[in-house]
Amino acid sequence: MLNKAKGFPENFMWGGATAANQLEGAYNLDGKGLSTSDMAPFVPKEERDGADFTFDVDSKQLEEYLGEDCQVYFPKRQGIDFYHRYKEDIALFAEMGFNVFRLSIAWPRIFPTGEESEPNEAGLAFYDKVFDELRKYNIEPLVTISHYEMPLALTEKYNGWESRELIDLYLKFANTLFDRYKDKVKYWITFNEMNMMLTSLYTGGGILEDKIKSSKEQAAYQATHHQFVASALAVKSGREKMPNAKIGCMICRLETYAATCKPEDVLQTLREDQMNLFYPEVQVRGEYPFYMERYFAENDIVIHKEPGDDAILKNNTVDFIAFSYYMTYLGKYDPTNKDNSGCLVSQLKNPHLELSEWGWPIDPTGLRIALNRLYDRYHVPLFIVENGLGAIDVLEEDGRVHDDYRIDYLQKHIAQMKEAIQDGVDLIGYTTWGPIDIISCSTSEMSKRYGFIYVDQDDEGKGSLTRYRKDSFYWYKKVIESNGEILE
Ligand code: BG6
């Protein structure tokens, strides 16, 4: 019989999610090497609203950015100075009642160029301190091994994940983390949003588009194959070194509705869905799905596999699916469009949904649909590791931020999570994106804020960096305290 009262499980994980390159700062301290993300300039609104906006970097820009007289401001280099303020920030997370905190490790902090034979001890020691601080408050770390950054030297030498050499270099990095933190970290994610490689080669794979040796799509899928193998090998050695660990994959879930009931639009939507589910197909089921074969053949894509790759993928599947969810998309057949970016770059707007200030459709019901669809298909635990509203916040004179719009957004999404749990979905945790304001991934803006904690810093990096509790801080605290029962 249906248990109507079924709410969040007792051991449900509540917290927030971040990425090293968007909050740590200290980009050149204690032996850290340059990262691909250190080269992401601030993009003003006028530019990001342009039709051809891309946050990829090409080799000409890279040369300019590395020049001694470069005047460009790179916000991710200073982040919000979590590197020096992690104790204060973690204390605030603890005050809200977090029992999980998602963070990533900056690869060039551990291996500055990616190719050293020994890791940088100062880098490892920093994360030891962060994990110890989390432990003090019984906050479980959820670690993303690679979140949209890598040593810049690997881009310069190998053109990033286009080269197979990256697999061994990543494994050396991952194994170093497993050996060092095996007693401190139980939950791991191998890569952030692997599917974003198709949209952004540089951010997803450290690849400079003007340096690729093939078509853009060929390079993206080949690089993805390298990441699949690297991820599976990390799962294998992670399991050997840490039998109790839980290791997951992660996608940006692009829940897509057919724009009309015209069969061609429905078929197009199915195709786009398959392209998004390609990633968990390989990482959960352990093999390339049938539909990719035809797609590759018709688009002149040839995946170069080494003997043994298929067995590696088959034998080392993940324990859970982590995903980000911000919005839903519309699928519409367009015979003139050969671009595979599909719904992600589509300009179609769903008339039933309101938009955020950044034009992202707000769709709480879509989250319930996403949860059901993923669980229905894979039957493995799900973890929502990103969700939230990027908005302009105003700091009042009394130090308060009245972000009722954020509370409203999160409230509605959490209510749908609860519905999905009642539907029978095995949802194990929820980490909202950017629980403290951090630098935006796509545009390096500071003014696109997701946090419960306001950070006094503007888009030009000016401000005291003082932290303030927003109204949503007190609200989320109550949600966690009541294990999701009180959403008002
Ligand atoms: C996700 C990324 O896709 O979206 C995060 O994993 C990112 O790194 C988040 O910050 C929100 O995007 P943005 O551009 O608003 O920061």
In the chain, what are the domain boundaries? 13-481
Q: Which atom of ligand 1 is nearest to the CA of 442?
A: 14
Q: Is the dihedral of CA 64, 44, 326, 407 positive or negative?
A: positive
* 418 token code pair: 């609860």
Contacts 24+ apart (CB under 8 A), 446-451: 446/75, 447/392, 448/358, 448/390, 448/391, 448/392, 449/390, 449/391, 449/392, 449/393, 450/388, 450/389, 450/390, 450/391, 450/406
* Annotated catalytic residue 162: no
Catalytic residue among 193, 217, 272, 445: 193
Which pLDDT score, from 0 to 100, does residue 226 have?
98
Which pLDDT score, from 0 to 100, does residue 357 have?
94
Which pLDDT score, from 0 to 100, does residue 342 have?
58
Cα(379)–Cα(320) distance, rounded to whole angstroms? Answer: 9
Which pLDDT score, from 0 to 100, does residue 46 have?
75
Hey, whose CA ends up nearest to atom 7 of ligand 1?
441
* Annotated catalytic residue 386: yes
Contact present, 284 and 231 (Cβ < 8 Å): no
Q: Which of 45, 385, 442, 443 to mutate to test the pocket of ligand 1 (most atoms within 8 A of CB)?
A: 442
Q: Which atom of ligand 1 is nearest to the CA of 450?
A: 15
Q: Which atom of ligand 1 is nearest to the CA of 193?
A: 6
Contact present, 251 and 190 (Cβ < 8 Å): no
3-state secondary structure 105-143: CCHHHHCCCCCCCCCCHHHHHHHHHHHHHHHHCCCEEEE
Helical H runs in 379-464?
A: 404-423
- Amino acid residing at 329: Y
Cα(220)–Cα(204) distance, rounded to whole angstroms? Answer: 9
Instruction: Give the three-state DSSP class for 329.
Output: strand
Q: Which residues line ligand 1 (CB under 6 A)?
A: 19, 22, 148, 192-193, 252, 324, 386, 390, 433, 440-442, 448
Q: Which of 189, 198, 441, 445 to mutate to test the pocket of ligand 1 (most atoms within 8 A of CB)?
A: 441
Q: Which residues pair with 386 in a beta bridge?
A: 324
Which pLDDT score, from 0 to 100, does residue 346 have?
67
Cα 377 to Cα 235, 292, 399: the distances in Å are 21, 17, 47
Can you identify the CATH homologous superfamily of domain 13-481? Glycosidases (3.20.20.80)
Which pLDDT score, from 0 to 100, does residue 55 have?
73
Cα 173 to Cα 115, 116, 145, 151, 160: the distances in Å are 10, 10, 8, 11, 15
Q: How far is the CA of 441 from the centre of ligand 1 (A)?
A: 5
Pairing verdict, β 100-104 and 453-455:
unpaired
Buried residues in 309-328 as b, exposed as e (16+ CB within 10 A)? beebbeebbbbbbbbbbbbb
E runs forming strands in 265-337: 320-324, 328-331
Q: How far is the CA of 56 from the centre of ligand 1 (A)?
A: 14
Q: What is the pLDDT along the chain (488 residues), one digit of tens a residue?
A: 455 567 999 999 999 999 999 999 999 999 999 999 999 998 877 777 665 566 789 999 999 999 999 999 999 999 999 999 999 999 999 999 999 999 999 999 999 999 999 999 999 999 999 999 999 999 999 999 999 999 999 999 999 999 999 999 999 999 999 999 999 999 999 999 999 999 999 999 999 999 998 999 999 999 999 999 999 999 999 999 999 999 999 999 999 999 999 999 999 999 999 999 999 999 999 999 999 999 999 999 999 999 999 999 999 999 999 999 999 999 999 887 765 555 655 678 999 999 999 999 999 999 999 999 999 999 999 999 999 999 999 999 999 999 999 999 999 999 999 999 999 999 999 999 999 999 999 889 999 999 999 999 999 999 999 999 999 999 999 999 999 999 99
Q: How far is the CA of 471 from the centre of ligand 1 (A)?
A: 22
Hey, whose CA ends up nearest to atom 5 of ligand 1?
441
Hey, whose CA ends up nearest to atom 11 of ligand 1?
441
> If we measure between CA atoms, which residue out of 132, 124, 229 comes closest to residue 177?
124
